[in-house]
Structure 1
C-alpha cells in the first residue's frame, strides 16, 4: 500500500462508500492520513459503577443482569432499557432508537460500556453508551480518535481505515522540515506525528504531535506566502518618478487626514522603487481609502501609465467612476467604466480605448477579467473590498497588462499627442467613452519588444479593505502584502448611534422610521442572508419577500419600499439599488448584498433584523452603509435572543465604533474559520492551527520561514525540496500563484 493508493483498494470500501468518503475529500490513503481527528475519547481508565465520576465520559466494566426491554413511545421513538451490575452497584442503560441492542446485549455476559455516568449511587445511569464485549475488547485501554463525519460514514469505519493506513503508510510520510529546524524548535518527526495524531499512546504523545503539525502548517503557509511575496516583488515594476503630493491634495475637496497622508507617502515610495508594489490599505468604513487609490492612479497618469480598479458590484463601480471622474478630470485624467451589463457596442469601444491608451483610469467589475480586455500600458491595479477579490483575481487582472519594458518616451506620448485631443472626456465617467484610434505605433512597438524577449513589467497592486482584520489573522490572510492602516476618520463626521432592541419595541421602531423619512431621509432594513442550500434558500427568500410586502401593505402603505436580495437577477438588483440611491425609494429591504454597496449619503437609518445571526464584523460593515452624510445616523439591532453570550456580543457594537476592536472580539467569539472563510480570501484552510490560541507558534513559524528563505530564497537546495513540494500542494487549488 502506498500514499496514492485509492481507498477503494481497502477492504470494506465499495463504490457507494467511496462516494461518501469523497464528500469528506478522502480519495487516497494519503488523504486519510491528513484527515485529522476533531476530538479524542480517553478509554484508558476503567471505573467501578459506584466510583465512576459524574458527567464525564468513562469506561465501566459490568455484567448484563437482565434481558433488555424495548418500548415504543410513539412513532419514530423507541427506548431500550437494560440493567447492568458489577461488584459495587447497579446501573440502568437507556438507548434511543437503537433496537439492535436488545439482541446485542446478552444476559450474564461482561461488557465494557463507554459514556457519561449520571445520578448518584442509588440510581446510576448511562444514555446511549457505546460498548464491546470484555473478552473481545478492541478499543478499551486506548485513546480513540473522533473524526468529522458525513452521511454513510461512521466513526468506527474511519478509525478502522485510518488504523490500517497508519500501520502500513505512516513510514512513507515525507519529512518536510529540515533536521536543524526540528532540533531548534524541539519538534517531533513526521512519522511519529502521523501515528500519534491518529492513535496516540498517551496524551503527552498527542500534545507533541499536535504541536509539530500546527508548527508545520503555519510554517509551510508562511513559507508559501513569503515565496509569493518574493516573486511578486521580484522583477521590475513601473517606476513612477516622485512628485509633489501637494499637487494631488489640491484636487481634493477636503483636507486629507494625517493617516491618509502617511498611507499615500508609503504608496508613493513603493511606486517610485522600480519594484512591483503589493500593498493593502486597511481602513475603517469612511476613513478615505478611495482618495488613496485616486492618488496612486494620479501618480500612474503623471508617469504615463494606466490604472484599473475592480469593484465588487456594478453600482459601486458606477459610483466610484462618477466620483473619481469628478475628482481627477481637472488633472486631465480620463476615467472609464466597464461592467458586465453594458451593451456589446459600448464594451467594444471601451476595449479599443483601453488598448489605445485613451482611458487613463478604468473602473469595472469582474468584466475586467473576461473578454478581450487589453491595456496599452497598465501600471496599477486597484482591488476594492479585498474579501470579494481573492489572490487569483488580482493576479488575473495584473496579467492583462502584458506590458514589456516600454521606453519612457512612449509614456510621454500617452500624456501628449498620443491621447487624441479630439476625443470628448467620459461624461461623469460613465458615458461618451473615448473612441479615437491614434496609437502612435506603440502597440506594434510593444509586440516587437515582447517578441525580442524584453523584460515584462509587472503592474503595481493596491488592495483596499474596509473590514478590519485582527492582527493575528492579518499575518496569515495578508502574508503576501505590505499593509498600511488608515486609523483616522475625517474630522467632524458624526458617529452612528447604535441601539439594541427586542421585538416588544417594534412599533416604536417603525415610528422612528417614519419620522426619519418625514425629515427627508431614507432607511435600510436588512434581513438574514439567503442560504446557499436550495431548501433553506427558498424558505429564506419567501420570508424576505413576505416581509417586504408586509411593510409596504400594512406598515408603510404611503411610502415606497424596495427589495434587494441575492437571488435577484443582476440587472434587477442594480436597478433597485440605483432607485434607492436616486431617492425614488424610501425604504430598502435587503439581505446582506447591501453590505458592499452604493454610497447613499441621505440614508440615515440601518435596521438589522435577527442581528444575532450575523458576525460582529459583518454588522459593523452594514452599519457603515449609513453615517455618510451631514445628518445624525442610527443603527438599530433587532434581536429577541436572551442568551447572555449573544447580548454581550451585540453590546460590543453598541459600545464601540472601532472596527479593529470589533474584529478582535469577533475573532475571539467565532474563531478564524467563521470570521473569514477560505472561500473569500482564496488561501488554504488551516486544518490544525487555531489563530486564537496558536499566536506564539505562528510567530515562531513565521520567523523560522523568513530565516530559511533568507538562506535559500527559492528553496532549491536538495534538503528543502520536500518543503517546496508541500508548499505547492498546499496552494494547489491556486496554481497561478506559483507560476
Structure 2
C-alpha cells in the first residue's frame, strides 16, 4: 500500500523513465507530486463563437470540421496537417505540426472542442497545435484547468494525469495537519478538499477556498517552525551580562541618538540581560544609524568583560567601521582591531594572539573572522553587518567561535516586519524608522536619454561647486553584444575622461578589482582626490563620502527599487543639498511607474512596500537566507494579509502547545520536521 513517501515510479502510469523526468522538477515522492502546485489556471468551462475571438487570447471553441484534413511534409522531415473548422459565426483554420495522426482522427462533419491561442488576423483566425477533444469526453477542456511549471520531458498532460493518479492513491492518507481549532477559527476547508481543488477545481469558488487553505497552511507551518527555532534559545544560557548605565555610553557620543536608536539599543540590552542568547535583527533605512546601535551593544557587553566581533561584507565597509568605532571606544579604554584578508602576516599574528589573551575588546573584519585560527578568550557578542550578504550558515560559523554568543544582525534593506520574520526566520526584529537630524532629503529625478547633455552639465555644475559625483553602471568591461559602452563602467570611465570631462578627475571602482585597489580608490575619493567616481554597485555597500552630492544611475531600469534606494543613500550625508538622477534609455510604462516611486519618496519602508507590490517578493527572496524553507504556493506580493493572519495563529497555537506535544499537534509536528529537514526536538 502506498504512503506519502512512496517513490513516484511506483505510481500507476509513471514508471522509471517518467519518474526520472519528474525528478528534474523536484518530484521524487507521492508527497512531492501532490505538493507540486499549478503556476496558474485557464478557465476552459465556456466555449466562444469564432466571430467573437480576440487575437492573442487562449480560448475554447465548439466547431465542426468542414473539410478532410490535408497532411504534407515540410523541411526537416516534419509533417503538417491542416484543416478548417466552422461554426454558425465563422471559420477557424487549424494547423498541427508533427501530429500526422490528426489526418485520420479528425472527421469531416463531426464537432469537436478546440482549445488554443488565437493567431492570424480578424479575417482569417487560426490556431496552431490546439488541444482537441470530443464533446462529452473532455479531460483538458470543460472546466478550470491547472497549468504547471514544466521541464524537458514533462508535459502538462503527463503532470495532469500523474497528479490525478497520485491523489487517487493517497486520498485516504491526507490527514489534516492543521489542528481543528485553528482550521475552524480561520474558516478553512479540510486538507483533502484543498488538495483536490487546488489541482482539479470544481469551480472558481472551490479554487479560492482551496488556495486560501493551502497558503494559510504553508505560512502557518513555516511560522510555527520558526517560532520553535526562536524558542530553543530559552533552553540555553547566553553570555551573562550585568546591568549597566547606558547613559554613560550616550554621554560620550559626539551627537545625540534618535529615539529609534535608543529603542533598538534598549531592546538588544534587554535581550542580553535576560540570561538567554540574543538573536536580533536591527533593520533600518540607509543612514538610520545602525552602527551606533551596534556600538552600544559592544559597550554593554564589554562592561561584563565580553569580547565582540563585527563582520562586514566588504573590506571597505570593515575599514570604515573600524575608523568610526576605534576612536569612540578609545575613550572608554576599549581596544579595537581590524582583521581582513589583506592584513599583513605579522599584524595578523599580533591580533590573533591578543584576541586569545582577551586584550582586544572588538575585532572588526570580513570573512577573515571565520577562519579556523581565529579564536577568542571571551567572545560574547557577534554582529554581522550583512545587508543580505550572509546567510544562516555563515552567521552560525562565526557564532561557533563561542558557546551561544549574543548575535545582532544589521540590515539596511527595510522590509515589512511580517516579511522580515520569514526572510530572517529565527531572529527577533528591531525596526529603526527614524533618521538622525541633519540627514538631507535627496531630490530624485527619473529621465530618459534625451536629457543626457543636461545631466552632464549638472554634473559639471556640482563639481565646480566643490562637490563630488557618483556614476553607477550595471556592468564591468566592454562586451561584444553590448553596443552602448555606458553600460560598462570601465569603458564609460574612459569615455568620460577623454571626451566628456577631460578637465575633471574621473576615478573607477568595480567589484573585480583587488581589495587593496578598491580600498585605495575609495580612500582617495573620500579624501577629495577625485571629482567623479564611476562604479558598479560596489558603492551600494556602506561607502561614506559626505562631500558627494550627486548620484547618477545609468540603466536604472536594471535595478530593483530597494537597490536604487541603497545607491541613493550614498549621497545626502553632508550638509549640502543632494540629488539622484535615474537614467534609462527606452523606459517602458512599467519602468516609468517603478522609477516614479523613487521620485516621490525617500522612505525606505515605503519603497520596499512598493517594490513588493510591483515586482513581488523575488528581490527579497533572491537574497533570502540559506537554510530556511522556500515557499511553494504563497505569493507574498498578494498574500501579506494571510501571512499576518497565519503568524498570529501560529503564535497563539505555540503559546498553548510550545513543544507540539498534544495529540492534535502530531501531524503539524511531523510536517515541521519534514519542512525543516530536522527532528522537531532539535528545534525546541
Trace 1:122-137 onto structure 2 (pairs within 5 A).
123=123, 125-128=125-128, 130-134=130-134, 137=138
1:657 is the counterpart of 2:658: no
> Relative to 1, partners in 2 of residues 1:539 and 1:341: Cα closer, same or farther, differing over 3 Å?
farther
How far 1:491 sits from its partner (Å)? 1.8
Report deviation, 1:70.
8.6
Contact residue 528 and residue 610 of structure 1 kept, 8 A: yes
CA-to-partner distance for each residue in 1:393-418, whole Å, 9 max, x for gaps?
A: 3333222113xxxxxxxxxxxxxxxx
In 1, the alpha carbon distance for the partners of 2:327 and 2:600 equals: 37
Q: Is the 8 Å Cα contact of residues 79 and 100 (structure 2) preserved in structure 1?
A: no
SS in 2 for 1:4: coil
Deviations 1:187-231 (A, max 9, x none): 223233222211223333322221211111110111011111111
Contact 1:79 1:94 in 2 (8 A): no
Q: 2:591 aligns with which of 640, 643, 646?
A: 646
Rounded to whole Å, the distance in 2 between the matches of 1:522 and 1:73 is 64
Indicate the residue corresponding to 1:247 in structure 2. 248
Q: Structure 2: how far apart are the matches of 1:142 and 1:259?
A: 54
Q: Is the 8 A contact 2:21 2:154 kept in 1?
A: yes
Picking from 484, 490, 497, the partner of 2:430 is 484
Does residue 439 of structure 2 align to residue 493 of structure 1? Answer: yes
- Which moved further from structure 2: 725-734 or 292-301? 725-734
Q: Hey, what does 1:511 align to over in structure 2?
A: 457
Q: Which moved more, 1:360-369 or 1:560-569?
A: 560-569
- Contact kept, 8 Å, 1:383 with 1:394, in 2: the verdict is yes
Give the unaligned 5+ runs of structure 1: 403-457
- Matched with 1:607 is 552
SS in 2 for 1:668: helix
Length-normalised TM-score, structure 2: 0.89
Question: 1:580-729 to 2 correspondence within 5 Å?
Answer: 580-677=525-622, 679-680=624-625, 683-729=628-674
The TM-score normalised by the length of structure 1 is 0.83
Residue 638 to residue 554, structure 1, CA distance change in 2 (3 Å): same
Structural mapping, 1:137-152, within 5 Å: 137-152=138-153
1:503 deviates by: 0.6
Report if aligned partners of 1:552, 1:559 keep a CA contact under 8 Å in 2.
yes
Looking at structure 2, the residues matched to 98 and 56 of structure 1 have their Cα atoms a distance apart, in angstroms, of 23
Residue of structure 2 equivalent to 1:90 = 90
3-state SS of paired residue (1:285): coil
Q: 1:522 aligns with which of 443, 468, 479?
A: 468
Deviation at 1:357, TM superposition (A): 0.9
Q: 1:164 to 1:400 in 2, by over 3 A?
A: same
Cα offset, 1:82, TM superposition = 3.7
Question: Quick check: 1:313–1:597 contact (8 Å CA) kept in 2?
Answer: no
**Distance in structure 2 (CA, Å) of the matches to 1:83 and 1:50:** 14
Deviation at 1:719, TM superposition (A): 3.6
Residues of 2 paired with 1:350 and 1:78: CA distance? 75
Shift of 1:79: 9.2
1:287-686 aligned within 5 A: 287-402=288-403, 458-478=404-424, 480-528=426-474, 543-570=488-515, 572-677=517-622, 679-680=624-625, 683-686=628-631
Contact 2:506 2:532 in 1 (8 A): yes
SS, match of residue 115 in structure 2: strand
SS in 1 for 2:608: helix
Deviations 1:706-733 (A, max 9, x none): 2221122122334423322322332339
Cα distance, 1:335 vs structure 2: 0.7
Deviations along 1:168-201, one digit per CA (max 9) or x if unpaired, are 2343344322233233333223233222211223
Task: Measure, in 2, the Cα distance between the counterparts of 1:587 and 1:16.
Answer: 59
How far off its partner does 1:15 sit? 7.5
Write the deviation string for residues 296-345 of structure 1: whole angstroms up to 9, x where unpaired.
Answer: 10111111111111111111011101111011111111111222333444
Deviates more, 1:71-80 or 1:249-258: 71-80
> 2:429 and 2:107 mapped to 1: Cα distance?
69
* Contact in 2 for aligned 1:615/1:675 (Cα 8 Å): no
CA pair 183-491 structure 1, distance change in 2 beyond 3 A? closer
Q: Distance in 2 between matches of 1:233 and 1:530?
A: 48
Change (3 A) 1:240 1:194: same
Contact kept? 2:82, 2:96, Cα under 8 Å: no
Contact kept? 1:357, 1:375, Cα under 8 Å: yes
Structure 1 CA distance, aligned partners of 2:409 and 2:632?
Answer: 27
Corresponding residue number in structure 1 for 2:269: 268
Aligned alpha-carbon RMSD (Å)? 3.7
SS at match of 2:61: strand
CA separation of 1:69 and 1:625: change in aligned 2, threshold 3 A: farther
Deviates more, 1:300-309 or 1:332-341: 332-341
CA shift, 1:20, in A, is 4.9
* Partner-residue secondary structure (3-state), 1:546: helix
Contact 1:110 1:133 in 2 (8 A): no
Contact 1:177 1:216 in 2 (8 A): yes
What is the rounded CA distance, in whole Å, between the counterparts of 2:125 and 2:28 in structure 1? Answer: 41
Quote the residue 1:415 is aligned against.
Answer: none
In the TM superposition, residue 704 of structure 1 has moved relative to its aligned partner by 2.0
**Counterpart-to-counterpart distance in 2, 1:737 and 1:522:** 53
The answer on whether the counterparts of 2:38 and 2:146 sit within 8 Å (CA) in structure 1 is yes
Q: Indicate if the aligned counterparts of 1:498 and 1:635 stay in contact, CA closer than 8 A.
A: yes
Taking a change above 3 Å as real, the CA distance of residues 510 and 363 of structure 1, as seen in their structure-2 partners, is same
Corresponding residue of 1:205? 206
**Residue in structure 2 matched with residue 452 of structure 1 by the alignment:** none
What SS is found at the alignment partner of 2:617?
Answer: helix
Give the distance between the partners of 2:212 and 2:60, measured in 1 at CA.
Answer: 28
Report the Cα distance in structure 1 between the residues aligned to 2:501 and 2:315, rounded to whole angstroms: 29
Question: Contact (CA 8 Å) 1:251, 1:328: kept in 2 or not?
Answer: no
Instruction: Give the Cα separation in 1 of the matches to 2:445 and 2:484.
Output: 29
Answer whether contact 2:473 2:487 (CA < 8 A) is retained: no
Mean CA deviation greater in 26-35 or 93-102: 93-102
Q: How many residues align?
A: 680
Unaligned runs of 5+ in 2: none
Q: d(CA) in 2 for partners of 1:552 and 1:160? A: 63
Query: 2: CA distance between counterparts of 1:348 and 1:165?
Result: 62
Partner Cα separation in structure 2 for residue 519 and residue 16 of structure 1: 70
Give 1:40 deviation, angstroms: 1.6
Q: 1:283 to 1:729 in 2, by over 3 A?
A: same
Q: After superposing the two structures, state which structure 1 stretch, 361-370 or 287-296, moved more.
A: 361-370
Once residues 733 and 98 of structure 1 are traced to their aligned partners in structure 2, the CA distance between those partners, rounded to angstroms, is: 49
Q: Structure 1, residues 517-562: CA drift from partner, whole Å, max 9, x if none?
A: 334433221122579xx99999999844433332333323344434
Distance in 2 of aligned mates of 1:543 and 1:387: 25
- Contact residue 448 and residue 587 of structure 2 kept, 8 A: no
